């Protein structure tokens, strides 16, 4: 079901992903892939992640491509969430 990704919803998804076992030991690419896969609003087959930190999916009710090579550290919650909100808007 499509919805508008408010910062509060994005933060809930972030907190959910943060609880995943072993997340800190995964590569930056995998941390971001897991997060954006959870944030993606469509069918799983419509989400793609490329090793060049390129993520494509349905975000904020629109098909969107996100280039995350300049994303803040995943564990810097406030900077990361602010960046995500700007990236999907």
pTM: 0.89
For residue 82, give its domain range: 7-88
| Structure confidence by residue, pLDDT tens digits, 43-80 | 999 999 998 999 999 998 899 999 999 999 999 999 99
Cα torsion 12, 13, 15, 18 to 10°: value is 180
Instruction: Count the domains in the chain.
Output: 1
Q: Is residue 1 part of a domain?
A: no
Instruction: Give the C-alpha separation, 11 to 45, whole Å.
Output: 24
């Amino acid at each position: 079901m499509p919805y508008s990704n408010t910062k509060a919803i994005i933060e809930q998804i972030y907190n959910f992903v943060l609880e995943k076992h072993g997340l800190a030991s995964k590569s930056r690419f995998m941390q971001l892939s897991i997060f954006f896969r959870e944030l993606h609003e469509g069918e799983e087959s419509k989400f793609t992640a490329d090793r060049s930190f390129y993520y494509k999916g349905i975000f904020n009710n629109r098909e969107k491509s996100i280039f995350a090579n300049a994303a803040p550290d995943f564990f810097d919650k406030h900077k990361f969430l602010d960046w995500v909100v700007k990236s999907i808007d």
